[in-house]
Amino acid sequence: MAKLVYEVRVLGEVGPAARQAFADVAVEVEPPATVLSGELDQAALHGLIERIEALGLELVDIRRV
């Protein structure tokens, strides 16, 4: 399955502890959100969304870039 580049935005600033859960993607704070971006296939994208949910973060936007 092809990997595509995605930007996933969550509300607020993701702290250092939570950033460890996202070691496989770039993490960039762009107030009022944090942008998680990287080259992901569909399974990895769904896994990223599951981690966001497990950490109680509010998902704001997902874009394929």
pLDDT tens digit sequence for 3-61: 999 999 999 999 998 999 999 999 999 999 999 999 999 999 999 999 999 999 999 99
What is the predicted pLDDT for the residue at 17?
86
The whole-angstrom separation of Cα 39 and Cα 54 is 21
For the entire predicted model, the pTM comes to 0.93
CA angle (52, 58, 44) in 5-degree steps: 25
Is residue 32 reached through a cis peptide bond, with omega within 30 degrees of 0 on the bond before it? Answer: yes
